[in-house]
Amino acid sequence: MKVIIHGGFFSESDQSHEVKTAKQESLKSIVKKAFEFLQNNSAFDTAAFAVSLLEDDELYNAGIGSQIQSDGVIRMSAAIMDGETQKMSGVINIQDVKNPVFVAKELMKEDDKVLGGSGAKKYASEHGFENFSTEIPKRREEYELKLKNGGKGTVGCVVLDKQGKLAVATSTGGKGFEIPGRISDSATVAGNYANSFCAVSCTGVGEDIVSNATATKIVTRVTDGMSIEKAFDKTFEELKSIDGFAGAIAIDKNGNIFHQDSYPIMVFASFDGNILETFN
């Protein structure tokens, strides 16, 4: 059983020692809670649980603390994928829910598994998700002062459970100040992908991740017999051709954990019950 989570990248405006320490402690706490939850739950349920904890922490650009778009509105996206069934569900540009990842998870039981905008919100309301503003004062100040916070904030979790099953979940509050209607990578197979061989969650500039099909390439290459390290190396080498800004976390079916970024520093933590690793 293994868990790895990420909380996006540091931006130029939040690289203080205090923020770094806060994120390290937060990620340590969340990855430990996720591993404890995993003892009696599936990889699928654990991935959603871990991402919900990240969404609830205003240190990250997902759920509470999401970035505000150019028209002053917060729109969030999230997805979850079950490596065993190879089914993915997600929400795109949903507003006024506390945990988009749980709405994405709820959609897994539907035939129509990816909803966007007002349709996603209507579905959430009809299925018991209360209206909830995720805006915090800091994000409003950033918006009003037009201070971009890097545009690289996403959270994610990859899990391998005791049955050897893999799952992944990813959530984002967007890049901030984007054109309304912009689609991030988080609710696509480029940013969130899993099968029975490997699971990957990405963070960074969504357009770069989609152009490179990052998560899908890594998983496909591992499925075809490439080691997880070589799959990452080849995929990130291809990312260089577009000067892509991305980071990714992954676990393969053999329990190998891997992470890589094209620019420093992706914040992450992993835990297998013995070894706890965090970003430096």
Where in the sequence numbering do the catalytic residues fall? 154
Rounded to whole angstroms, the maximal C-alpha distance in the chain is 50
Distance CA 162, CA 2 (A): 9
Reduced to 3 DSSP states, what percent helix, strand and coil does the chain have, rounded to the nearest 5? Answer: 35, 25, 40
Residues 6+ apart with CB under 8 A from 10: 19, 20, 150, 264, 265, 267
Distance CA 55, CA 51 (A): 6
Distance CA 78, CA 172 (A): 6
Q: Are strands 257-261 and 266-271 parallel, antiparallel or unpaired?
A: unpaired
From its phi and psi, is residue 81 left (phi > 0), alpha (psi between -120 and 50) or beta?
beta
CB atoms within 10 A of CB 278: 17
Residue identified by tokens 């609830």 is: 56
Kindly report the three-state secondary structure assignment for every residue of 88-143. Answer: EEEEEEECCCCCHHHHHHHHHHCCCCEEEHHHHHHHHHHCCCCCCCCCCHHHHHHH
Is residue 5 a contact partner of residue 156, using CB atoms and an 8 Å limit?
Answer: yes
The dihedrals phi and psi of 240, each to the nearest 5 degrees, come to -65, -30
- Residue 241, exposed/middle/buried by CB under 10 A (0-12, 13-18, 19+)? exposed
